[in-house]
Chains A and B, each alone.
Chain A
């Protein structure tokens, strides 16, 4: 055994001696000597085996490159292509997404009839599981179509050019040219963006990119923006929206620099890209690519999102029968009985009857909303919200916003859905006027309004920057294969969001905007 170790030591010693000698002869480029000789071997074979055409033609590929990687035209062409890709993706996937939503609603309704109305099982299966699976499946068309477009662009040879065009700009922010594609994808959804970092060679460049992709404002944040811009900034909607996207980009740049300097020091590896010749993209290949990606997404994100949705449903519905301040059940029954007695005397076709019926239905739905609100307040989610209120209060947020932000961890859209439930306006979506009105009216105990334009803006900023959704966290873990980095991604985004929001809110108040 000792003999063996000695032998290895001897080899290593000989290696050092030999390398010293070669260095003496060839200088610092010893390694290059090997490469040169290999290329020599190759060119020897080439000369014998391949007969080249007499003159090198300027191939179609080179002609296309003259335009596409042109100093002036390169960037506009690239932006235009990207815009077309997004436009195409969103336009084409829209009907599919609508179908999935309709199908989900239909399945939910059909399945609901199988259970006792209002039972625990019905809630879990219909709202928790079917609602949860649906919220995942809705994104599948977008992912598939986007990856199909990407596969086509990649196969055709264009993606390599895109990285080439952006490299200079990206190096200025301490990143690699190839990091650009994931960032662009992040505007659609962080998941494909983070998955696309796989093309980046060095771990350093790849991890930095993974950590900043979530700052690119994804499609799921749009419902949040739509709700608050509609309520508070309808006159300057476009500007506010643009400022949020811009803030995301600036955040990404700042963090890229900080991370690159302190946490993952090093130089971005130089971009030595081969520009492959353009070729006709292969349809079969693109479809296989698309299918594989979609499958992985359904499998991995699906399990995580599904579990997450079930969890949120649980904490916002339990305790199942809290002690209410009023006996809603008997109040509703009483209203019903009143209506019955009144309506008996009326002719069902008169306006009077319809008015009575309308007011009855309104009363019942008010009572039901009030009950739902109280239930949520007493649920674990509600208690949690009140528990974290001190944390979000410096940002101008109350406990209801706190709860919705926790919900937003599952998927950012859920922020809107949770606020809807909390303001007891039943099923709310971002265009619902009643949610907007309810938000505007809500006050702190001391009668100050909770939502000012400043709070609304701060909230949007926070939603843009804080912890990426659970699916993104899952993908970050999958790609970094490290809990340490995954937890870091969750923690540093939230801390950063809090600081930026704090500065926004308190700064705004100092300027007298609040």
Chain B
């Protein structure tokens, strides 16, 4: 009996996500639609060692603010389907912009692996990335890959499995928003933590931040309760 797990691939457009997706799933792919909307949903199966992974390719987004359908879909999937691991693929030659999405995943406190893709191009441009230190700063595993040459795929798979079965864990990373904002976050967090229902479903700090940011979808959802 193979052990099953679900892996979500997330990343900016043009980070080489589909390349990684193809490396993981080969031809065992299925294209459908996300329920209720007409954005394409790509899924594939990856068999590795004793494991059978369902790999879901989330729409490419720069953020998880729920402005566009793509962002809403990506966020909903991660929040509600609770994939075993979220692989955040970033373009190593364009880290500054790609990391914006990463910060949002960190705040969501999902099991995260960072895939430092196209590392060859970053190097050829003269960037030197201290992978070990990066991993320490973010509190998550960082795997360099070269998608179009299928390099680093096995390491990525090993890390996915290790994280799923708690051989490794993420360390909580907090982004500070400055004195006044932090005070308000604290105010809200206290109220959220008193509410079992919300507390079970969302990380309290993330929810507080989203509410303060005025995230319409989240506010709407609270109003519905």
Interface set of A (CB-CB < 8 Å, partner B): 4-5, 7-8, 10-12, 14-15, 18-19, 21-22, 25, 30-31, 33-35, 37-39, 41-43, 45-46, 48-53, 57, 59, 157, 198, 201-203, 274, 276-277, 279-280, 282, 284-285, 288, 292, 296, 478-481
- Chain B residues near A288 (CB-CB < 8 A): 22, 27, 29
- Chain B residues near A59 (CB-CB < 8 A): 125
- Chain B residues near A19 (CB-CB < 8 A): 212, 214
> Out of A12, A53, A280, which one reaches B126, CB within 8 Å?
A53
- Whether A202 contacts B68 by the Cβ 8 Å rule is yes
- Whether A45 contacts B184 by the Cβ 8 Å rule is no
When chains A and B are docked, how far (Å) is the Cα of A428 from the Cα of B27? 43
Contact (A12, B95) CB under 8 Å given A49-B129, A284-B22: no
- Chain A residues near B214 (CB-CB < 8 A): 19, 30-31
Q: Secondary structure at chain B's binding surface: helix, strand, loop or mixed?
A: helix
Closest approach, in angstroms, between the C-beta of B183 and any C-beta of chain A? 9
9 new A-B contacts at CB < 8 Å, known A50-B127, A280-B148, A282-B19: A8-B198, A21-B180, A37-B175, A43-B96, A50-B130, A51-B128, A198-B40, A296-B31, A481-B33
When chains A and B are docked, how far (Å) is the Cα of A8 from the Cα of B27? 47
- Whether A481 contacts B38 by the Cβ 8 Å rule is yes
Closest approach, in angstroms, between the C-beta of A36 and any C-beta of chain B? 9
- Chain B residues near A277 (CB-CB < 8 A): 93
Contact (A18, B100) CB under 8 Å given A11-B222, A53-B125: no
Q: Does B176 contact A (CB under 8 A)?
A: yes
The CB with the most chain B CB atoms within 10 A, among A10, A288, A296, A480, is that of A288
A-B interface contact total, Cβ < 8 Å? 144
> B42's closest neighbor in chain A, by CB?
A292
The CB with the most chain B CB atoms within 10 A, among A10, A11, A274, is that of A11
When chains A and B are docked, how far (Å) is the Cα of A35 from the Cα of B128? 26
- Whether B38 contacts A18 by the Cβ 8 Å rule is no
Closest approach, in angstroms, between the C-beta of A499 and any C-beta of chain B? 30
- Whether B212 contacts A18 by the Cβ 8 Å rule is yes
- Whether B38 contacts A478 by the Cβ 8 Å rule is yes
**Which residues of B, 181-199, contact A by the 8 Å Cβ criterion?**
181, 184, 187-188, 191-192, 194-195, 197-198
- Whether A31 contacts B133 by the Cβ 8 Å rule is no
Closest approach, in angstroms, between the C-beta of A443 and any C-beta of chain B? 49
Residue interface bits B102-128, CB-to-A below 8 A is 1, else 0: 011000000000000000010001111
- Whether A15 contacts B212 by the Cβ 8 Å rule is yes
What is the total number of residues of chain B having a CB less than 8 Å from a CB of chain A? 63
- Chain B residues near A479 (CB-CB < 8 A): 38
Contact (A34, B213) CB under 8 Å given A21-B184, A198-B38, A296-B31: yes
Contact (A50, B95) CB under 8 Å given A14-B188, A481-B37: yes
- Whether A41 contacts B31 by the Cβ 8 Å rule is no
> B18's closest neighbor in chain A, by CB?
A285
When chains A and B are docked, how far (Å) is the Cα of A11 from the Cα of B180? 18
> Out of B29, B69, B195, which one reaches A4, CB within 8 Å?
B195
> Out of A37, A274, A296, which one reaches B14, CB within 8 Å?
A274
Closest approach, in angstroms, between the C-beta of B179 and any C-beta of chain A? 10
When chains A and B are docked, how far (Å) is the Cα of A42 from the Cα of B103? 8
> Out of B33, B99, B194, which one reaches A45, CB within 8 Å?
B99
Complex A-B: 12 CB contacts under 8 Å: A7-B191, A7-B194, A22-B180, A31-B213, A42-B95, A50-B127, A201-B70, A277-B93, A285-B22, A288-B29, A292-B29, A481-B33
When chains A and B are docked, how far (Å) is the Cα of A458 from the Cα of B95? 58
> A45's closest neighbor in chain B, by CB?
B137
- Whether A201 contacts B69 by the Cβ 8 Å rule is yes
- Whether B180 contacts A276 by the Cβ 8 Å rule is no
Contact (A50, B22) CB under 8 Å given A19-B214, A33-B177: no
Closest approach, in angstroms, between the C-beta of A216 and any C-beta of chain B? 21
When chains A and B are docked, how far (Å) is the Cα of A292 from the Cα of B14? 19
Closest approach, in angstroms, between the C-beta of B123 and any C-beta of chain A? 11
When chains A and B are docked, how far (Å) is the Cα of A280 from the Cα of B223? 49
- Whether A51 contacts B191 by the Cβ 8 Å rule is no
- Whether B127 contacts A53 by the Cβ 8 Å rule is yes
When chains A and B are docked, how far (Å) is the Cα of A15 from the Cα of B188? 7
> B12's closest neighbor in chain A, by CB?
A274
When chains A and B are docked, how far (Å) is the Cα of A57 from the Cα of B124? 12
Q: Does B160 contact A (CB under 8 A)?
A: no
- Chain B residues near A53 (CB-CB < 8 A): 125-127
Closest approach, in angstroms, between the C-beta of B203 and any C-beta of chain A? 15
- Whether B184 contacts A49 by the Cβ 8 Å rule is no
Q: Does B162 contact A (CB under 8 A)?
A: no
> A55's closest neighbor in chain B, by CB?
B126
- Whether B22 contacts A11 by the Cβ 8 Å rule is no
- Whether B127 contacts A480 by the Cβ 8 Å rule is no
> Out of B14, B29, B184, which one reaches A22, CB within 8 Å?
B184
Closest approach, in angstroms, between the C-beta of B214 and any C-beta of chain A? 6
- Whether A12 contacts B223 by the Cβ 8 Å rule is yes
Closest approach, in angstroms, between the C-beta of B29 and any C-beta of chain A? 7
Closest approach, in angstroms, between the C-beta of B119 and any C-beta of chain A? 12
Closest approach, in angstroms, between the C-beta of A53 and any C-beta of chain B? 3
> Out of A8, A22, A39, A201, which one reaches B212, CB within 8 Å?
A22
When chains A and B are docked, how far (Å) is the Cα of A282 from the Cα of B150? 12
When chains A and B are docked, how far (Å) is the Cα of A198 from the Cα of B22? 21
